[in-house]
Chains A and B, each alone.
Chain A
Amino acid sequence: MAMSQMRSPLGRVLGLGSAKEGVEHWWRQRITAIALVPLTLWLVVGVIGLVGADRAALVAWLHNPMSAVLMIVLLAATFYHAALGLQVVIEDYIHGEAMRLTALMLVYGLCILLALRGIVAVLQLALGA
């Protein structure tokens, strides 16, 4: 009781805590993690099936709409999960405000670029002749 009385009514309603971020980051990390459990196993099985195969086999695999969709979701979830995780590492070890912000922008920027590069490649392979 004493604890809750120390907090302002607005603070309690917003529920963001002392870090002013709430549980959003934690929750997104968990959701992407749960999604990546089956997606990763699917990728591993798919890649094993393509060992030693030529490009045509990969193209044929991604011509299947379900494979293409799963690969796109996997890329999005992977790079979102990676950005969220790298954000925590950066916030733990880089203490200067300018350096931290620069590193965060670089990491998020690179993750977005890589995810989009992968997704565009999948779309080209899935929709190409």
Chain B
Amino acid sequence: MMSDPRPLSPHLQIYRWQLTSVLSILHRFTGVALSVGAILLVSWLGAASDGPEAFGRFQQFMGSWFGLLLLFGWTVALFYHLCNGIRHLVWDTGRGLDLKSVYAGGWIVLAATAGLTVLAWALGCWHWRH
């Protein structure tokens, strides 16, 4: 059956991405990432229940550049999945399904993700310094 050598569609080198499909893929991707990231939350609580020594080790790991990078990625994924999830819930009510609203909502989700991430880290840094 694979005798025809023509390129398959979508041919990724010449494929023009659309906001709609990219955001859809990102929703699934961040969902899977957050499922793995939820282990972080359990580790935090588990370390605290194990005692001060285990909690100290966890805090040291989260304070390292790798830990902070994980936490930053986790924050971005969380806010994106949250905002786009709300977009999905709006669609579930039958609203905003025309092309113009779908694109507008997409840009709003991206802006809200960036805004909430910056806000959360700004508040976190401010709290850390005080």
Contact = CB atoms under 8 A, between A and B. Distances in A.
Interface of A: 30, 33-34, 36-37, 40-41, 43-44, 48-49, 51-52, 55, 58-59, 71, 75, 78-79, 82, 85-86, 89, 111, 114, 117-118, 120-122, 124-125, 128
B31 interface: yes
Dominant secondary structure at the A interface? helix
A30 B93 CA distance: 12
B40 to A, nearest CB: 11
B35 interface: yes
A79 B48 contact: no
Given A114-B38, A121-B46, A52 B31 contact: no
Interface residues of B, number: 28
Dominant secondary structure at the B interface? helix
A106 to B, nearest CB: 12
B124 A48 contact: yes
Interface in B12-65: 28, 31-32, 34-35, 38-39, 41-42, 45-46, 48-49, 52, 55-56
Interface in B66-123: 78, 82, 85-86, 88-89, 92, 120, 123
Nearest to B58: A55
A114 B85 CA distance: 23
